[in-house]
Amino acid sequence: MSVALRGLLRSAARRVQIRTFAAEAPKETVKEGEMSLTFAAGNKVFYNKVSVKQVDVPSFSGSFGILAKHVPTLAVLRPGVVTVVESDGKQNKIFVSSGTVTVNDDSSVQVLAEEAHPLESLDRGAAQEALSKAQSELSSASGDKAKAEAAIAVEVAEEIVKAASA
């Protein structure tokens, strides 16, 4: 991910940082009909082997939902919103810029994102501003590499605006 694209995503996410002491992870067993989820990004670990009911992910081969006993899968994430349905039914929506999702045959799932932010931390105004800037850079880009990087920045910015508007 280019430095400009990383900056774009970070500018659209409000700065919220809480530091705490590390604690031993609870030794939970996965209930019937649930799966173990690990969801991490370069900026934060969202779930660490937590039992959940469902995970919906955006991928380049299409968006799909993951339930317990899902067929083993490896997919590349596209910019968009990952929705996690927790054991108590609560939905947690997190924007991802890119990454991978792996579904294992033991009903464990790993979502590894380049960068990720909860929807509530996205600033619609900053996202719209970032989109305008990315579109301007795309229209003035010269050379294949610059055009490709600018097109990726526009795609991510468009998805951030959609997510922030939801």
**pLDDT per position as a tens digit, 86-114:** 999 999 999 998 999 999 988 899 999 99
Q: What is the topology classification, in CATH, of domain 122-165?
A: 1.20.5
For residue 20, what pLDDT is reported? Answer: 52
Identify which of 67, 107, 65 has the alpha carbon closest to the alpha carbon of residue 82.
65
What is the model's pLDDT at position 25? Answer: 40
**Domain extent listing, the chain:** 28-120, 122-165
CATH fold group of domain 28-120 = ATP Synthase; domain 1 (2.60.15)
Q: How many CB atoms lie within 10 A of CB 43?
A: 16
Q: Which residues of the chain have pLDDT under 70?
A: 1-30
Fold equal for 28-120 and 122-165 = no
